[in-house]
Structure 1
Amino acid sequence: MSKLTLIAQQGYSEEILSAIQGFQGVEIRDLFQQTVSNEWVADYFNELKPLTSQTELAKIEDQLKQIDEAIRFIEHHGSSKEKGLHLKRRQATLQVLEGTFDETNFLAELTNIQNLEKDFFRIEAKRLALQEEENLLQKWQSLDFVPKNYSLRSIEIFLGSSDSEVWSQFECQVKTQQIYYEAIYSDDQRVHFVMLYLREKKEPVQELIQQFSIDRFHYDLPILPKEKLTEIQKALFELIDEQKLLVRLIGQKKIMIEKLELAEEVLLAKKNRWLIYHRFIKNERVFLLQGWVETETFEALKIFIGELVGQENFYLEFEAPTKTEISEEVPTKLKNNRFVRPFELLTEMYSLPKYHEVDPTPWFMPFYFVFFGMMVADAGYGALMLVATTIALRAVLPRGTERFMHFFQILAVPTILWGLIYNSFFGFSLSYQPLLSTSDDVISILILSIIFGVIQIFMGLGLAARENIKAKNYLGAISDGFAWQGIMVGAIIGGLGKMFMNSHSLFMLGGILAGFSALMIMITPMIQAKSKIQGLASGAYKLYGITGYIGDLVSYTRLMALGISGGSIAAAFNMLVSYMPPVARFSVGILLMVLLHGLNIFLSLLSAYVHGARLQYVEFFGKFYEGGGRAFRPLKTEEKYVNIKQEK
């Protein structure tokens, strides 16, 4: 990484920021953070405050919200006869993407959709209100007089509804009071009635109403309920016709979904630019920013910006980061070839390396490659993975999904190879003798698993020694790397001499080498420490860690266990279906095979993914890798719908 400094007239700031975002290779530094590298800001721009972008951000956020609401409204309320297509994911440069965006046309279309939305919900609210009134009046349509036309001094008219459970009791009480009543409508829950009584009986009637919790119905219209009901139904038909027309108009707007999503992508890009406005210097005359950029891409960036705004209109330089910046600020960006790059996701899940620390990805990739295949170990499953991922990669996928597909496409190869070694194809055995049989060569597979573990741990210790040598900690290289390698080599030589070659001299040589290496682990901390006793105690504690190495080697036996179990489960499924009658075998049996093998594929891939990662994180990384690096986060777009190609 190099530190980039760019100075230009403030009038070019928007073009330059857009160019940097399209280049996708510059992380903008915050010049207003209190760091040693930013002391010059206070010296030369002591009265300048960070730019605020809350107003513009609020405006963009509001537009993004309106786009989301408009798309959902069109999809949910537009005519189903109209087909709306979402923006098909594709690749484009930011310059081309923003060049196709017509803000005036976008705002006009968005306003049209919002007007349709207002009209739709206005009609919907009116329709619901009329339906509610219709439902109520349907219960009173048998009322054959208008209450307000029969207002007499001596008689009161009461319209009300009672709960069905208390109606009979209420009815008896009304009869005893010699009051005229008539039930207009009744159902399982309510009884609606009209009651006429002399004003002199108003008080006992009010007591009855309160006693039985009667609800009064106020009807003040000058026409009969059934006439009003006819008017409502006519108005409802008109509203429904109006709403149908509106639904067709909304459906016609489905062709705008792609344009709305394109506008959303552009606005998200603008939002990301506004989010870093507080990080650089800009006043009425000057625009100045700093950032981190890959050293090898600096010239390409300079040429690209120069083509957009003119080389004479900006000043650009880069410098190597200082020791302080390396320890506190410089981000980490992994750089590997196209076969190793998909495995970076495993490193990122654990922790990125610090700026000067070794990238473990190319070192663990071959092991993970072999281990994954050994744990799934079915040529049929591997072939299915290869076909599925290859087909998926023919389309333009989101960046994360694309990397995941590449990851499993590569892992399909060892899965096929180990399936051929074990002679397993969807749980069936092909017509040849396997190199390793999961039923007869279990011990051989177990030994092979441990050998792979020994090789990987040995490499991890070598990397630990290398990192110490790079840091000029030579004694640490001995105690953390070479000495442990010596113990492992000594144990291997001694074991071979004792158990396989019956050679006492080899056994003694291995013992001497292991003993000398153990002594170095004990002595080295004594040389490094001021207190020899503390150093000896530290060395003894380190040597006690040999028990952990035994546990590490045992962990590699999962390579054997998972490989055998997955194949055995697949074979058991096949046997289960083979016991079925021929008719069932070629009907239900086929469906059963698809479901059972689908489940086994999922579990096998999940187990291999998780346990393969665990072997790297615990058994391998624990020997040499610390991590704790900060990810390189260049100014980019969201890529919600469009994969932005790097501007060149």
Structure 2
Amino acid sequence: MQMAIVKMSKFNLLVFNSDRENLLHELQKFNYVHFLDLKEDESLEDYDLNIVEVPESIVAVDEKIAKVRSAINTLSKYQKKETGLKAMQEGGETIEFTELEAKASKIDYETICGQVLELNSKMDELGQEIAKTNAEISELNPWVKLETPIKDLELFKQVEALLGTIPKKLRQNVENDLSTTEYTYFEVLSEDKDNLNVLLLIHRDELEKVRDILRSYSFSNTKINIEGDIATEIAKFEEEINQLKEMIFQNKGRLENLTEELSSLQIVYEYLMNVKLKLSASENFLKTDNINVIEGYIPTDMREEFTQVVKDSLNNLYYLELEEADKDDENVPILLKNSKFSRSFQSITQMYALPNYNEIDPTPLLAPFYSFFFGMMVADLGYGLLLFMATAFVLRVFNLTEEQKDTIRFFYYHSIFTILWGLIYGSFFSFTLPIQILDSATQYNQVLIISIVFGIIHIYFGLGVNGYMSLRDGRPLDALFDVGFWYMALTGGIILLLSAATSLIPEGVATVSKYVMIVGMVGIVLTGGRSSSNIGGRLAGGLYELYGISSYVGDFVSYSRLMALGLSGGFIASAINDMVFMLFDLGIIGIIFGVIIFIIGQSFNLFLSLLSAYVHSIRLAYVEFFGKFYEGGGKAFKFLRSKPKYISIK
């Protein structure tokens, strides 16, 4: 029994080089095929086999993908699409994979992309022209008070006109020194933060003297490359900018019209990505002069369909071997298949690590515990109802992808356990309900004990899974040594401690539990280091294993977070309620602000409670639960289709 890990079969396939492209075309429709990279197979090094080079056509495909992606990104900026709830309700387009190629072949995407890229390029050029013209206006603006045309400044015979800048802080010094001249005119036309923009009219008899003065005060000459007056030139530039903006507006309208082709380009993009994946798949193969050597895995329950696809695509000109995958083969890819409930929790397992092929999928095992603990940490009927109604509404109304549905269902299931624990604690937005089984605020010792008991059950279950795996693999002694002795040591120790703390445990039971604990501990010491080749190493390894009992104490205590997080969320909600009631006593204004604070405060506390429950439930799963039986490290099954980005493909 492999739980939710799909059983795999390994195939070895020999085909003619000329048939490879057609085979890959048909296998991509089949999809459920995972190729092995034979370049990494050392057992084939002694054979005279060459690497199959990726076809050169893949370069052209990459160029097409880049062009289509660029066109999609451009048009997406101008698409007038529904947003928010309506967009989620409508969802995205869904097509069959078998329709993808036919639809893409009918789309003249080269023309569309050409038009989009040309318009976008033209708009970029126009934008650069506007920026350049604005820069020229910026250069002229400081001199706009100069009403005389620039060319006229060069017509003087006895006077030289200078335009330039001097540091603002030196103005007084410059004016003082220039006052010693007789035929020099000095005017400040404008100023900025640091400099003065000035005009000087200098008689030629004083030119050298004035130049010396200006040089000593860091005067910088300014050359203006126009002939007319400044204001007229600025007006011309502004008119030019308006014309450029109008051209941009027209091109923008053309791009908005082209957004009607956006869905077509998205279909082409998905098609090209699959073409690229199909072409690149051949680099996993090896070949002789005429034959391709192909190895990989398929789901065992799809062997007949796979065989038929190969037969139809190769006209019986092939050699195919199929055998069940070796459960200890680390190259076997992992594909999980779970119920609707368990599938919502697969992301938790995948974040940790996919199981190895000889393990079991822990997802169905962690799912009920995870939701149970999540509900206990949030533990409020009001919060649970809000989460239930929100997730149920989204699932019923919105058109979601399967991945999105799994994410929403993940929290939908948690809402049920949150409601359950809210009823047990009698909490509704931290208001006490008439029916209350446990009061977490006053009976926290009982809640702590319950939390530890749930932790013991959780850890014992994890150990039990470890024992099951050993028995399944024909290793009953390992089940006894690695699980049975720990059950004895832990259970005996727990009962012995309880007998010392309470009189409810009969003396005879306490005595038996002590000997059970001793037998378990001795068993751990004698067998915990059995992998060592000498007696000393075995005893040292066994003692080290027994020392691990301290980690179990930490594991049990770790479940106190089930109580702590539930209490903290309840206390915060209660504090918010107290603030609201205080405001209610202030009259109508207080009531209005009280309602606002209640909504905002409870919403924030709900967010914190959900986030904390999500994180700490993961922690209990990864550390306390997975640590007892789960190793992970499996390789994900690689389908022969690209993961869609824009549309849903069945």
TM-score, length of structure 2 as denominator length? 0.86
Residues 292, 548 of structure 1: alpha-carbon distance in 2 compared, 3 angstrom cutoff: same
- For 1:638, the equivalent position in structure 2 comes to 643
Pick aligned residue for 1:367 from 364, 369, 387: 369
Q: Helix, strand or coil for the counterpart of 1:52?
A: coil
- For 1:628, the equivalent position in structure 2 comes to 633
Check conservation: 2:189, 2:197, Cα contact below 8 A. Answer: yes
How far the C-alpha of 1:525 sits from its partner, in A, is 5.0
- For 1:291, the equivalent position in structure 2 comes to 296
Pick aligned residue for 1:26 from 19, 33, 38: 33
How far the C-alpha of 1:634 sits from its partner, in A, is 2.4
- For 2:4, the equivalent position in structure 1 comes to none
Check conservation: 1:386, 1:413, Cα contact below 8 A. Answer: yes
- For 1:117, the equivalent position in structure 2 comes to 120
**For residue 458 of structure 2, what is the amino acid of its counterpart?**
Q
Q: Within the alignment, does 1:43 sit opposite 2:75 as a pair?
A: no
Residues 93, 284 of structure 1: alpha-carbon distance in 2 compared, 3 angstrom cutoff: farther
Check conservation: 2:425, 2:438, Cα contact below 8 A. Answer: yes
C-alpha separation in 1, matches of 2:531 and 2:225: 101
- For 1:247, the equivalent position in structure 2 comes to 252
Q: Which moved more, 1:437-446 or 1:394-403?
A: 394-403
Pick aligned residue for 2:173 from 149, 169, 172: 169
Residues 563, 130 of structure 1: alpha-carbon distance in 2 compared, 3 angstrom cutoff: closer
Which whole-Å deviations, capped at 9, do the CAs of 1:319-370 have from their partners, x for residues lacking one?
Answer: 23357xx444222223332222222222222222221123322333332232
Pick aligned residue for 1:95 from 98, 118, 123: 98
Alignment of 1:13-162 (within 5 A): 13-36=20-43, 38-39=44-45, 43=47, 45=49, 48-52=50-54, 56=57, 58-74=59-75, 83-84=80-81, 88-102=91-105, 105-138=108-141, 139-140=143-144, 142-147=146-151, 150-151=154-155, 156-162=160-166
Q: Within the alignment, does 1:190 sit opposite 2:196 as a pair?
A: yes
Check conservation: 2:27, 2:309, Cα contact below 8 A. Answer: no
**For residue 545 of structure 1, what is the amino acid of its counterpart?**
G
Residues 153, 301 of structure 1: alpha-carbon distance in 2 compared, 3 angstrom cutoff: same
Which whole-Å deviations, capped at 9, do the CAs of 1:125-161 have from their partners, x for residues lacking one?
Answer: 3333333333444525634355368557765443334
Cα RMSD of the aligned pairs, angstroms, is 3.4
Residues 107, 466 of structure 1: alpha-carbon distance in 2 compared, 3 angstrom cutoff: same
C-alpha separation in 2, matches of 1:505 and 1:223: 114
Check conservation: 2:94, 2:647, Cα contact below 8 A. Answer: yes
Check conservation: 1:92, 1:644, Cα contact below 8 A. Answer: yes
- Count residues with an aligned counterpart: 630
Check conservation: 2:583, 2:594, Cα contact below 8 A. Answer: yes
How far the C-alpha of 1:285 sits from its partner, in A, is 5.7
Check conservation: 1:148, 1:220, Cα contact below 8 A. Answer: no
C-alpha separation in 2, matches of 1:381 and 1:121: 51
How far the C-alpha of 1:600 sits from its partner, in A, is 1.5
- For 1:264, the equivalent position in structure 2 comes to 269
How far the C-alpha of 1:377 sits from its partner, in A, is 1.3
C-alpha separation in 2, matches of 1:386 and 1:9: 57
Q: Helix, strand or coil for the counterpart of 1:192?
A: strand
C-alpha separation in 2, matches of 1:443 and 1:75: 58
Check conservation: 1:332, 1:631, Cα contact below 8 A. Answer: yes
C-alpha separation in 2, matches of 1:494 and 1:226: 99
How far the C-alpha of 1:295 sits from its partner, in A, is 1.0
Residues 257, 508 of structure 1: alpha-carbon distance in 2 compared, 3 angstrom cutoff: same
C-alpha separation in 2, matches of 1:136 and 1:524: 87
Runs of 4+ in 1 over 6 A off after TM superposition: 495-498
C-alpha separation in 1, matches of 2:104 and 2:200: 67
Check conservation: 2:330, 2:356, Cα contact below 8 A. Answer: no
Which whole-Å deviations, capped at 9, do the CAs of 1:44-82 have from their partners, x for residues lacking one?
Answer: 53xx333135x6555444444444544554465x5xxx7
- For 1:354, the equivalent position in structure 2 comes to 356
C-alpha separation in 2, matches of 1:232 and 1:507: 98
C-alpha separation in 2, matches of 1:482 and 1:166: 93
C-alpha separation in 1, matches of 2:30 and 2:394: 27
Check conservation: 1:426, 1:570, Cα contact below 8 A. Answer: yes
- For 2:515, the equivalent position in structure 1 comes to 512
How far the C-alpha of 1:474 sits from its partner, in A, is 4.1
Which whole-Å deviations, capped at 9, do the CAs of 1:163-213 have from their partners, x for residues lacking one?
Answer: 444344334434433343353722454333142432x65443433343233
Pick aligned residue for 1:597 from 595, 602, 627: 602
TM-score, length of structure 1 as denominator length? 0.86
How far the C-alpha of 1:112 sits from its partner, in A, is 0.9
C-alpha separation in 2, matches of 1:146 and 1:559: 82
Residues 331, 231 of structure 1: alpha-carbon distance in 2 compared, 3 angstrom cutoff: closer
- For 1:521, the equivalent position in structure 2 comes to 524
Q: Within the alignment, does 1:321 sit opposite 2:325 as a pair?
A: yes
Residues 286, 219 of structure 1: alpha-carbon distance in 2 compared, 3 angstrom cutoff: same
C-alpha separation in 2, matches of 1:65 and 1:377: 51
C-alpha separation in 1, matches of 2:382 and 2:576: 14
C-alpha separation in 1, matches of 2:179 and 2:553: 97
Residues 238, 557 of structure 1: alpha-carbon distance in 2 compared, 3 angstrom cutoff: closer
**For residue 192 of structure 1, what is the amino acid of its counterpart?**
V
C-alpha separation in 2, matches of 1:145 and 1:443: 92
Pick aligned residue for 1:550 from 549, 553, 566: 553
Check conservation: 1:90, 1:396, Cα contact below 8 A. Answer: no
**For residue 524 of structure 2, what is the amino acid of its counterpart?**
I
Residues 169, 10 of structure 1: alpha-carbon distance in 2 compared, 3 angstrom cutoff: same
Q: Helix, strand or coil for the counterpart of 1:99?
A: helix
C-alpha separation in 2, matches of 1:489 and 1:150: 106
Check conservation: 1:637, 1:644, Cα contact below 8 A. Answer: no
C-alpha separation in 2, matches of 1:530 and 1:162: 90
- For 1:573, the equivalent position in structure 2 comes to 576
- For 1:378, the equivalent position in structure 2 comes to 380
C-alpha separation in 2, matches of 1:528 and 1:115: 70
Unaligned runs of 5+ in 2: 1-7
Residues 620, 313 of structure 1: alpha-carbon distance in 2 compared, 3 angstrom cutoff: same
C-alpha separation in 2, matches of 1:49 and 1:267: 24
Check conservation: 1:28, 1:291, Cα contact below 8 A. Answer: yes
Which whole-Å deviations, capped at 9, do the CAs of 1:559-604 have from their partners, x for residues lacking one?
Answer: 2222233233323322321222252454222221222112221221
